[in-house]
Amino acid sequence: MRRFARQRAIIAFAAGVIVIAGVLAVVLSRRSWRRTGDDGTPVQLVIGELPAGAVGCQPHEPLPAGTRAVGLHASPTGPGSVAVRVVLRAAGRYSGTGGVGTSASAGTVVAALPHPLAGAVVASLCVWNTGTAGLALAGAATGPADQLTFSAPGKPLAATVGRVRVDDLISARQVSLWSTLGKLPERIATATGSELAPWLFVLGAIGTILAAVALLRSAGDGDEI
Amino acid sequence: MRFRADLLIVLALTLASGACWAGITPAFQKTDETAHFAYVQALAELGHPPRQFVDTGLLSTEMTCWYNGLEVTRYRFFPEERPPWATQVRSSLDHACKGLSPRYEGAMYQAFQPPAYYLLAAGGYELARGLSLPTRLLFARMVSVILIAIAVALTYLLVLEVIPGSRWAARAAALALALQPILMFNESGVNPDALDVTVMAAIALVTARAWRHGLTTSRALAFGALTGLGVLSKVNFLTLLPSIALLALALWWSGDPAQRLLRAKRLALGGLLALGLFGLYALVNHSLWHRGLTYRQAALNSHGGGSIHRLLDFGWQFFLPRLPGTQPLFPGYLPVWHDLLEGITTRLGWWNDYGFDGWATVLIAIGVALAAAAGCYIWPRARRRPWPALVTGAAAILFLASLVIADYQYSLANGDEFEGRYIVAGMPLWGLLVGCAVAAARPRWRGILTGLLAALFLAHTVIALTTTVNRFYL
């Protein structure tokens, strides 16, 4: 009777864990744009409108290692097609012009970098509006330094009021979370400031499952006393 | 002997679950952790609690370096923002913050707190001396985790005492607490609440034993010592004192009427011990540490407008829809649902910036179902012997009433600021309720029910953890 009670407890728990693991696997397999980081610019206001055919350049843009694309916080200002190309300057072997990118979701335009970044760089990031719709760029006012500036053929250079928010992406396509899992220990260690933290997390998670199982199958002088 | 093995496993379970939460939460993102850790650092570095009670917003140079470098305020409360992820940030901070002064005489808005918890946390800090400040923070967090593991073990013993027929009930109670993500999120941070919860769990156990086996002198002294320790752990513990007084009254009244005088003497001894502990603290605080005993923060100064009538109205509208003709004090929401129930089931951090609150209705429904099942166990027993259930219920209501009164006083100056985490000191009662729900089942079903509940509680934790990963790391 006692043995059966413990077995049934374990079976019920194991069934629950399998369901949890299944749901977790489905969640991890969902595709979306995954980040390698961002440039820290808060989204506070529209800093300017990038007309069709114009190029907007933002100096000193930090791009982490592993970045293959960027997500710009931008929305079309009217009817027409949305298309951009990203140009990297002063990035050494990573300089060049990327492929055509387009709207990823409401308020974001995703475009591939010319080359995947093997290491972190700080470069001048330019956005070339190759579509027919103007783009309202969202970001933060920064004062005169490091502002994004517009240039268009036959027109003088124009400054905006700040910098556009840039999300750095693992890929220009939506990918599952499985590709991001390996990066979690490093991210946890940095956000907590300690290499000990990811160990605590992983060993704690394993220990929790094992201890729960041990509690349900703990043997001895009986469960009903 | 069996329960000792169970106890060890319960301790291991809570330590593991707490370590998980301590490791995954970015530095200074637990509720009020910056101020509490500043207190720990001041105590460890200066040898006494901080003397600067006015909140200057300043921290030690070393802590400021890490606090700013990890961009704590850039992403706190902003769900779309993330902490820094690049390894270079950590290594450059390791280099930049090394050698900076860890000494500062303040702890923001928490410097006035009594020192019991911080003395323990300073032990964790000392163990990691020589390591980086965030690693010292993790060690201090693990002190809280040890405290909460003791609290869960005490709750296991409490349920074993109250429901002596089955260990499944006690196991389910331990699983309910060790896998309650809001409790574990908060109590795996640097926060004196961890000691509050532990002390309250110990008081509940001592009360149950005294009720069932008699109020001996040692139990009365333990009751008093724990109450004294609670008062020295955090000012919030004062909201528990009415409930503790009620428990003392019940211990005096219950049992042989001829022994009431003896029980009164023993309780008086316990009370003297509690007062003695507080007196000792007051003496050391004044003569050795040169600190004030009380401090009223400017933010708490009321601008008037308070009255008994308004307090009653506040209390009514906190729990129930307002009556016709009364002024709306919580326009657009019901605090008992949004602050209390949603808070205790889904609120990680200060506000719902983790996006976890969508699960609140389901979780509250499960809680209500468990409470109903517990009622099936409690009701027939309460009909035969009503006092234990009545006293427990009244103590819980008194605790809630004290919290609402404290919230009312605060609200006069600042508006309603109630957070679900304030009731975590009553968490042993949640364990007891889950234990009663399991005990309501036939003996042959208790094992399978405990297994199912363990999976359910684990699912709650997994959802909370994935929400946290999504909030900070994706």
| Residue in B with minimal Cα distance to A188 | B24
pLDDT at A95 over 90: no
Q: Give the nearest partner residue to A11 out of B21, B80, B451, using CB atoms.
A: B451
pLDDT score of B125: 98
A193 part of a folded domain: yes
Instruction: Please tell me if residue B280 touches chain A, with a CB cutoff of 8 Å.
Output: no
Amino acid identity of residue B114, one-letter, is P
- What is the residue-level pLDDT of chain B in tens, covering all 474 positions? 567 889 999 999 999 999 999 999 999 999 999 999 999 999 999 999 999 999 988 999 999 999 999 999 999 988 889 999 988 899 999 999 999 999 999 999 999 999 999 999 999 999 999 999 999 999 999 999 999 999 999 999 999 999 987 899 999 999 999 999 999 999 999 999 999 999 999 999 999 999 999 999 999 999 999 999 999 999 999 999 999 999 999 999 998 899 999 999 999 999 999 999 999 999 999 999 999 887 766 555 555 567 888 899 999 999 999 888 888 888 888 899 988 999 999 999 887 788 888 899 999 999 999 999 999 999 999 999 999 999 999 999 999 999 999 999 888 877 767 888 889 999 999 999 999 999 999 988 999 999 999 999 999 999 999 999 999 999
Q: What's the burial of A144, exposed, middle or buried (CB within 10 Å: 0-12/13-18/19+)?
A: exposed
Residues A156 and A95 reside in one and the same domain? yes
pLDDT digits (tens, 9 = 90+) for A149-176: 988 777 777 778 899 999 999 999 999 9
CATH number assigned to the domain comprising residue A94: 2.60.120
Identify which of B408, B375, B395, B404 has the alpha carbon closest to the alpha carbon of residue B302. Answer: B408
Q: How far is B402 from chain A (nearest CA, A)?
A: 35
Q: Give the nearest partner residue to A189 out of B5, B90, B179, using CB atoms.
A: B90
Residues A132 and A90 reside in one and the same domain? yes
A221 part of a folded domain: no
| Residue in B with minimal Cα distance to A20 | B459
Please list every residue in chain B whose beta carbon sits closer than 8 Å to the beta carbon of residue A205: 16, 20, 465
> What mean pLDDT is predicted for residues A25-39?
92
Residues A89 and A110 reside in one and the same domain? yes
pLDDT band at A221 (very low <50, low <70, confident <90, very high): very low
pLDDT score of A220: 43
Please list every residue in chain B whose beta carbon sits closer than 8 Å to the beta carbon of residue A16: 451-452, 454-456, 458-459
Do A224 and B171 lie within an 8 Å CB cutoff? no
| Residue in B with minimal Cα distance to A120 | B86
Q: What's the burial of B450, exposed, middle or buried (CB within 10 Å: 0-12/13-18/19+)?
A: buried
Amino acid identity of residue B213, one-letter, is H
Do B443 and A224 lie within an 8 Å CB cutoff? yes
pLDDT score of B298: 56
pLDDT score of B45: 97
pLDDT band at A4 (very low <50, low <70, confident <90, very high): confident
Residues A108 and A138 reside in one and the same domain? yes
Residues A193 and A92 reside in one and the same domain? no
Residues A45 and A156 reside in one and the same domain? yes
Do B22 and A221 lie within an 8 Å CB cutoff? no
A66 part of a folded domain: yes
pLDDT score of A164: 95
Residues A7 and A98 reside in one and the same domain? no
Q: Give the nearest partner residue to B459 out of A20, A34, A188, using CB atoms.
A: A20
- In B451-470, the residues whose Cβ lies within 8 Å of chain A are 451-452, 454-456, 458-459, 461-462, 465-466, 469
Instruction: Please tell me if residue B2 touches chain A, with a CB cutoff of 8 Å.
Output: yes
- In B141-200, the residues whose Cβ lies within 8 Å of chain A are 142, 164-168, 171, 174-175, 178-179
Please list every residue in chain B whose beta carbon sits closer than 8 Å to the beta carbon of residue A64: 85-86
Residues A17 and A45 reside in one and the same domain? no
Residues A131 and A22 reside in one and the same domain? no
Are B255 and B206 in contact by the 8 Å Cβ rule? The answer is no
pLDDT score of B413: 76
pLDDT at A219 over 60: no
Please list every residue in chain B whose beta carbon sits closer than 8 Å to the beta carbon of residue A41: none
Do A200 and B19 lie within an 8 Å CB cutoff? yes
A139 part of a folded domain: yes
> What mean pLDDT is predicted for residues A63-69?
94
Please list every residue in chain B whose beta carbon sits closer than 8 Å to the beta carbon of residue A201: 19-20, 23-24
Do B134 and A208 lie within an 8 Å CB cutoff? no
Do A190 and B81 lie within an 8 Å CB cutoff? no
pLDDT digits (tens, 9 = 90+) for A165-213: 999 999 999 999 998 899 999 999 999 999 999 999 999 999 999 999 9
- In B65-94, the residues whose Cβ lies within 8 Å of chain A are 66, 70-71, 74, 78, 80-90, 93
Instruction: Please tell me if residue B96 touches chain A, with a CB cutoff of 8 Å.
Output: no
A203 part of a folded domain: yes
Domain count, chain A: 2
Instruction: Please tell me if residue B258 touches chain A, with a CB cutoff of 8 Å.
Output: no
Q: Which helix (H) or strand (E) holds A221?
A: none
pLDDT score of A129: 93
Q: Give the nearest partner residue to B135 out of A40, A191, A194, using CB atoms.
A: A194
Residues A161 and A197 reside in one and the same domain? no
The encoded tokens of residue B326 equal 């009364």
Q: Which helix (H) or strand (E) holds A214?
A: helix A196-216
Q: How far is A190 from chain B (nearest CA, A)?
A: 5
Candidates A34, A73, A215: best to mutate against B (most CBs of B within 10 A) is A215
Residues A190 and A133 reside in one and the same domain? no
| Residue in B with minimal Cα distance to A222 | B2
Please list every residue in chain B whose beta carbon sits closer than 8 Å to the beta carbon of residue A203: 16, 19
Do A225 and B472 lie within an 8 Å CB cutoff? no
Do B93 and A222 lie within an 8 Å CB cutoff? no
pLDDT score of A60: 93
Residues A90 and A199 reside in one and the same domain? no
Do B16 and A207 lie within an 8 Å CB cutoff? yes
Residue A208 lies in domain: 2-30+179-216
pLDDT at A1 over 70: no
